[in-house]
C-alpha cells in the first residue's frame, strides 16, 4: 500500500457551449439562450471559416492524493482511487462576454435580445481520481512505468447552464491523463 501525492498544472480547451440570459422576457420569467458548438478554438473545423476569436484554455493547478495497492515485485501493477482539488488560475480570462463572440453579434440585438450577463466559471474544482499503473523494476532503486488516470469532477463548471432548480444537470469535468513514470528510491532499501 502506498500514497501518491502530486501537484500538476493542467490546461483544458475552452468549452463550445456558452449560455446567456434571454432578454426581453416578461417580468418573473427567465429564459436562456445557449450557443452550442460555437468555435472557441482551432480544433473546431468551423474556426477558420468565420469571425471567431480564440478563447484561452482553462488553466488549473491541481493537488492530488491517491492511495493505491500494488501487486508484484519485478513487474508490478497498482490500482488506486484518490481525491483532487484544483484552482482555476485564469478565471478572469475565462469570463466570456458578447465582445468575445463577434460572429454571434447579431444574436445580441433584436429580435432575440440576448442578455449581457457574462459566462462565469467557478474558481475551485474538486473530485475523485481512479488510477492504474504498471512498473518494471530496472534495478534495486530504479523503476520505470506507465500510468493512466481520470479526473472526475464533483463541482459544476458554473451555475448558468440550466435553471437553478436543475443544477445537477450542469456540466462537470471529466478528463484523462497518461504518462511515463520514473521512480528512484533514495537511501538504503
Q: CA-to-CA distance for 147 and 82, rounded, in angstroms?
A: 14
- Are the beta carbons of 118 and 91 closer than 8 angstroms? no
> Is there a domain that residue 9 lies in?
yes
Q: What is the pLDDT of residue 162?
A: 61
> Is there a domain that residue 105 lies in?
yes
Containing domain of residue 8, as a range? 2-184
> Is there a domain that residue 189 lies in?
no
> Is there a domain that residue 109 lies in?
yes
Q: Which tens digit of pLDDT belongs to each residue from 113-161? A: 787 778 888 899 999 999 999 999 999 999 999 999 999 999 888 766 6
pTM (whole model) above 0.85? no
Q: In total, how many domains does the chain have?
A: 1
User: What single string gives the DSSP state of each residue in 131-183?
Assistant: EEEEEEE-SSSEEEEEEEEEEEEEEES-S-SS-GGGGGGS-EEEEEEEEEEEE
> Is there a domain that residue 48 lies in?
yes
Q: Which tens digit of pLDDT belongs to each residue from 17-57? A: 888 877 766 666 667 788 888 999 999 998 988 889 999 99
Most distant CA pair in the chain, distance: 75
Amino acid at each position: 500500500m502506498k500514497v501518491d501525492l502530486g501537484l500538476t498544472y493542467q490546461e483544458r480547451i475552452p468549452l463550445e457551449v456558452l449560455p446567456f440570459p434571454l432578454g426581453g422576457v416578461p417580468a418573473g420569467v427567465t429564459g436562456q439562450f445557449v450557443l452550442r458548438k460555437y468555435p472557441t478554438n482551432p480544433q473546431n473545423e468551423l474556426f477558420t471559416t468565420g469571425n471567431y476569436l480564440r478563447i484561452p484554455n482553462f488553466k488549473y493547478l491541481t493537488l492530488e492524493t491517491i492511495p493505491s495497492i500494488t501487486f508484484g515485485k519485478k513487474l508490478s501493477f497498482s490500482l488506486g482511487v484518490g481525491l483532487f482539488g484544483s484552482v482555476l488560475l485564469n478565471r478572469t480570462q475565462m469570463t466570456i462576454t458578447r465582445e468575445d463572440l463577434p460572429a454571434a453579434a447579431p444574436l445580441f440585438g433584436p429580435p432575440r435580445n440576448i442578455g449581457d450577463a457574462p459566462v462565469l466559471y467557478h474558481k475551485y474544482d474538486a473530485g475523485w481520481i481512479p488510477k492504474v499503473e504498471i512498473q518494471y523494476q530496472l534495478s534495486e532503486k530504479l523503476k520505470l512505468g506507465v500510468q493512466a488516470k481520470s479526473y472526475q469532477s464533483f463541482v459544476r463548471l458554473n451555475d448558468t447552464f440550466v435553471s437553478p432548480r436543475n443544477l445537477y444537470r450542469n456540466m462537470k469535468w471529466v478528463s484523462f491523463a497518461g504518462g511515463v513514470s520514473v521512480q528512484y528510491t533514495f537511501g538504503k532499501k
